[in-house]
Chain A
Amino acid sequence: MTVDLSQFYQVFFDESLEGLDAMEAELLRYSAGTQDDESINTIFRAAHSIKGGSGTFGFDSIAGFTHVLETLLDQIREGQRELTNQHIDLLLQSIDCLRDMINRLSAGDDSVPDSAAQLKAAFEAILNDENELGPEPEALQAKQILEETSSLEQLADTQTLGWKVTFVPSEDILMTGNEPLFLIQELTELGDHEVELITEHIPQWQQLKPEYCYLRWVVKLYCDCTEQQINEVFEWVADECEIKIEKLQTKSEQSIPAKHPPLTSTQPQTAMQSVTQTTDSNEQIEQTKPVVNKPAKSKQADANSIRVGIDKVDSLINMVGELVITQAMLSQLFESEMTSQTLSRMKEGLAQLEHNTRDLQESVMRIRMLPISFVFSRFPRLVRDTGQKLGKKIELVLQGESTELDKTVMEKISDPLVHLVRNAIDHGLELPEQRLAAGKPETGKVTLNSYHQGGNVVIEIIDDGKGLDPVKIKNKAIANGLISASDELSEEQVNLLIFEAGFSTAEAVSDLSGRGVGMDVVKSNIQALNGTVDVESEVGKGTTFRIRLPLTLAILDGQLVRIGQHIYIIPLVNIIESLQIDPKGVSRIGGEYDVLHLRGEYVPIVCLADVFLHKADAQSLTEGLLVVVEVDGGKVGIFVDDLLAQQQVVIKSLEANYNKVEGISGATILGDGTVSLIIDIISLVRMAGVKSMATANLVSTDVNAEGV
């Protein structure tokens, strides 16, 4: 039977990576001192499974590497060794190395990273250090070689006439699940044979226990099998049973086999058959090593799979069922005669259909949702390594790990988060002595928090470090020409400057943060997800970065707006309010655009019809409506003819179906089948050439300086 093992590779890779994650998490608990009794077992088990699987599937490089890890972990588990920090470091590095190996294998590349040999040597050095502890890897290998040689010797010892095997089972052999008959059968499959049953040990009826075995066998094998092959048959029962194996000596004993083996007699075998069977068993011995197939290439590695809880699938199936019923009901109604009664029932049916569709949509969305712990889980390691490098003591607190987020959003938010956390540690947290001097606990705290708010997911990165220094930021911004010295900015505005392109306050560009990828990239990444980021900071107390993201990228709550005959969609998240313009509050600035004085703020007005070159119905500002949206912490008013419905729209990519269009983030299809474009507020405002203004004090004096 041939089984193509490559079909299990992907599962093996997936579970190995999961195992490594678990290992890593538990190791980090050790270094934080929060491990429990199960920790070492979990770590050991992960290494053990990876070793077992890699051996089975023929990934010898992984198996060899994991072997040393497993040996060390086993000694620790058995209490023969303490898990030291050195061990933890090495193990963590090994985890990285194994991840690398697995990723390479799943991409069809069986090369081994350079670090593997070094790490393996380091483990071997530890293991060899205390010789009394456990067998050394070399010793093990030596032993294996020895075994192999001895088996070779035995294989060479094939000139025997045959064997006489006396098998005396223990009386309770049946209770171990072993069946003497099967063992005899197995034995007789080795070649020509003669079986003799010895029944003289069966006790008197009164003493006979029906579940016991009182029979004994003598099997004579007339074949060139080895003693080892015979021993292998009895391997499992050798300890409890008496097995005597003797070489057949005399010619007389090598007589022609009896015509049929008594009692076992199930398979009277011809010489031909037994010869083939012997060949078979030889083949099996030669095949002890699984055939190393190259992993199926690339396709599997790219397989972007998602694990879905069975409850989610169940509810989906349920929902589809409902949908089918509703559909059946509706088509039945159409077949019947139209009366006012059927009409009202049809209306009901349509309402039902709408309900079903919405439920179905929600269920499908839920499938794409994953708990944010998928992202959070990589931070303990990151925080530990970063802290170690910088000599800072850090406690990482994870909150709201079960908050669910769309998988695509999750993948894209991961890098910005890493950047923010690195920043918090590098720039935010102080060194232990500085903290003590400032009257704070020596250990700094970084909190990652996540929760749902409305249709959004909020992720907070909170540190209790020194906070942003507004003076430093401002000076830097002036030096970089981001603002002019005369600008009066609120602290909030100053803090937002760190998100501007080309801004970095770290005095020395460290290895960790400030590697050219600035906060502006973080911000644009988040904005690309239709999200926002802001920062709150208090000098000496700490900083909080708050990221707001839509739950999903596939669906959006939109406000339909009309300009002439055109319908556009403004994402509801961006909208603060919609209002009718009071002309008294409008003033023209620089002869170019209007601002509305709204409750102490000046809101620039962007006329959508002008930007997109449409002909608007509204001839003056009083005839239309103003949709006030939030852009980069400031407000901008978008002037439209009319507001229509608010509805959820499914986002279709314009880029994939047509071209990238400035000011437009995508398209959707409305209920009547027309295509409507979704406005990308940020790029729209950029197109209009308007810079938002957050507060009133900027406007009158500095509008021109703002670079309008």
Chain B
Amino acid sequence: MKKILAVDDSASMRQMVSFTLQRAGYKVTEAKDGVEALGIAKNETFDLVLSDVNMPNMDGISLIRELRTLPEYKFVPLLMLTTESGLDKKTEGKQAGATGWIVKPFNPDQLIATLGKVLR
């Protein structure tokens, strides 16, 4: 079973993402911000990390930057989950090492469909 780390400061989004992914057969661990996610990711490797951008303590882009420097996460898909469809955030994310992005709002089907690009 593929393991996904879902990071979002909004509990409703986190629950929605997590529920959707679990229904699709993934094992999901939740984190509420970058700091918590990084702590979890260091103890356990995941097949994919799905992170919100705007979060307290550590934002999604910093999290991705940190994760990408870890040897275990060199090739792991790191996706940003964001409403900021503006080009600057995407570019910033890519420079930090993000694999791709999913633009909010999205529905559960779109989420699962998009994961197919990087996780099979």
Residues of A within 8 A of B (CB): 1-3, 5, 7-9, 11-12, 14-15, 38, 41-42, 44-45, 48-49, 51-53, 55-57, 63, 174-179, 182-183, 185-186, 211, 233, 235-236, 239, 281, 284, 287-291
11 contacts between A and B (CB under 8 A): A1-B112, A9-B12, A44-B54, A45-B56, A56-B16, A185-B116, A233-B117, A281-B113, A284-B109, A287-B109, A288-B110
Near A by CB (< 8 A), chain B positions 58-74 give 74
A19 nearest in chain B by CB position:
B10
Is residue B76 within 8 Å, beta carbon to beta carbon, of the partner chain? Answer: yes
Is residue B34 within 8 Å, beta carbon to beta carbon, of the partner chain? Answer: no
Is residue B43 within 8 Å, beta carbon to beta carbon, of the partner chain? Answer: no
Contact of B12 among A42, A51, A53 (CB under 8 A): A53
Q: Contacts A3-B23, A8-B16; is A45 near B54 (CB within 8 Å)?
A: yes
Near A by CB (< 8 A), chain B positions 70-111 give 74-78, 83, 91, 94, 97-101, 104-110
- Bound CA–CA A284/B75 (angstroms): 28
CB proximity of A411 to chain B, nearest CB, Å: 23
Near A by CB (< 8 A), chain B positions 28-66 give 54-56
CB proximity of A70 to chain B, nearest CB, Å: 8
Q: List the A side residues contacting B105 at CB < 8 Å.
A: 52, 55-56, 63, 290
Contact of B118 among A1, A175, A182 (CB under 8 A): A182
Residue contact A8 to B101, C-beta cutoff 8 Å: no
Q: Contacts A3-B108, A175-B74, A185-B120; is A235 near B10 (CB within 8 Å)?
A: no
Q: Size of chain B's interface in residues, with CB distance under 8 A?
A: 41
- Bound CA–CA A178/B118 (angstroms): 6
Residue contact B120 to A177, C-beta cutoff 8 Å: no
Q: Contacts A1-B24, A53-B10, A174-B75; is A236 near B99 (CB within 8 Å)?
A: yes
Interface of chain A: mostly helix, strand, loop or mixed = helix
The residue in B20, B78, B104 that gathers the most chain A C-beta atoms within 10 A of its C-beta is: B104
CB proximity of B10 to chain A, nearest CB, Å: 4
- Bound CA–CA A185/B116 (angstroms): 9
CB proximity of A175 to chain B, nearest CB, Å: 6
- Bound CA–CA A291/B110 (angstroms): 13
- Bound CA–CA A3/B107 (angstroms): 9
- Bound CA–CA A38/B55 (angstroms): 12
Contact of A57 among B12, B54, B99 (CB under 8 A): B12
Is residue B19 within 8 Å, beta carbon to beta carbon, of the partner chain? Answer: yes
Contact of A176 among B9, B56, B99, B117 (CB under 8 A): B99
Q: Contacts A3-B20, A49-B9, A52-B83; is A178 near B107 (CB within 8 Å)?
A: no
Q: Contacts A45-B9, A63-B105; is A284 near B110 (CB within 8 Å)?
A: yes
CB proximity of B68 to chain A, nearest CB, Å: 8
Q: List the A side residues contacting B109 at CB < 8 Å.
A: 1, 284, 287
B91 nearest in chain A by CB position:
A239
Residue contact B10 to A49, C-beta cutoff 8 Å: yes
- Bound CA–CA A281/B113 (angstroms): 9
Residue contact B10 to A1, C-beta cutoff 8 Å: no
Q: Contacts A1-B24, A3-B20, A11-B11; is A178 near B99 (CB within 8 Å)?
A: yes
Residue contact A12 to B118, C-beta cutoff 8 Å: no
Q: List the B side residues contacting A9 at CB < 8 Å.
A: 12
CB proximity of B85 to chain A, nearest CB, Å: 10
CB proximity of A40 to chain B, nearest CB, Å: 12
Residue contact B77 to A178, C-beta cutoff 8 Å: yes
- Bound CA–CA A236/B78 (angstroms): 11
Q: List the A side residues contacting B99 at CB < 8 Å.
A: 176-178, 236
Residue contact B117 to A186, C-beta cutoff 8 Å: yes
- Bound CA–CA A9/B19 (angstroms): 13
Q: Contacts A5-B16, A183-B117; is A52 near B10 (CB within 8 Å)?
A: yes
- Bound CA–CA A233/B16 (angstroms): 24
- Bound CA–CA A187/B101 (angstroms): 18
Q: List the A side residues contacting B97 at CB < 8 Å.
A: 175-177
Residue contact A15 to B12, C-beta cutoff 8 Å: yes
Q: Contacts A1-B109, A176-B94, A290-B107; is A235 near B100 (CB within 8 Å)?
A: yes
Residue contact B118 to A284, C-beta cutoff 8 Å: no
Residue contact A15 to B74, C-beta cutoff 8 Å: no
Q: List the A side residues contacting B100 at CB < 8 Å.
A: 177-178, 235-236
Contact of A236 among B23, B54, B101, B104 (CB under 8 A): B101
CB proximity of B23 to chain A, nearest CB, Å: 6
Residue contact A8 to B15, C-beta cutoff 8 Å: yes
- Bound CA–CA A178/B104 (angstroms): 21
Q: List the A side residues contacting B74 at CB < 8 Å.
A: 175, 211
Residue contact B106 to A56, C-beta cutoff 8 Å: yes
Residue contact A11 to B108, C-beta cutoff 8 Å: no
CB proximity of B92 to chain A, nearest CB, Å: 13
Q: List the B side residues contacting A42 at CB < 8 Å.
A: 56
A45 nearest in chain B by CB position:
B54
In the complex, the 3 A-B pairs of residues with the closest C-beta atoms, listed nearest first = A55-B105, A177-B99, A236-B100
Contact of A177 among B9, B11, B15, B77 (CB under 8 A): B77
Q: List the A side residues contacting B13 at CB < 8 Å.
A: 49, 52-53, 56
CB proximity of A588 to chain B, nearest CB, Å: 69
The residue in B74, B106, B116, B117 that gathers the most chain A C-beta atoms within 10 A of its C-beta is: B117
Contact of A179 among B56, B91, B110, B118 (CB under 8 A): B118
- Bound CA–CA A239/B110 (angstroms): 23
Q: List the A side residues contacting B104 at CB < 8 Å.
A: 52, 55-56
- Bound CA–CA A194/B105 (angstroms): 35
- Bound CA–CA A382/B13 (angstroms): 31
- Bound CA–CA A183/B120 (angstroms): 10
15 additional A-B residue pairs with CB within 8 Å, beyond A5-B16, A15-B12, A52-B13? A8-B15, A8-B16, A9-B12, A56-B16, A174-B75, A176-B97, A177-B76, A182-B117, A182-B118, A186-B116, A233-B117, A236-B117, A239-B91, A239-B94, A288-B107
B20 nearest in chain A by CB position:
A3
CB proximity of B22 to chain A, nearest CB, Å: 10
Residue contact A1 to B110, C-beta cutoff 8 Å: no
Q: Contacts A48-B54, A176-B97; is A8 near B75 (CB within 8 Å)?
A: no
Q: List the B side residues contacting A290 at CB < 8 Å.
A: 105, 107
Contact of B75 among A11, A41, A175 (CB under 8 A): A175
CB proximity of A686 to chain B, nearest CB, Å: 50
Residue contact B12 to A8, C-beta cutoff 8 Å: yes
Q: List the B side residues contacting A48 at CB < 8 Å.
A: 54, 83
- Bound CA–CA A288/B56 (angstroms): 29
B120 nearest in chain A by CB position:
A182
CB proximity of B57 to chain A, nearest CB, Å: 10
- Bound CA–CA A5/B107 (angstroms): 9
Q: List the B side residues contacting A2 at CB < 8 Å.
A: 108
- Bound CA–CA A179/B56 (angstroms): 31
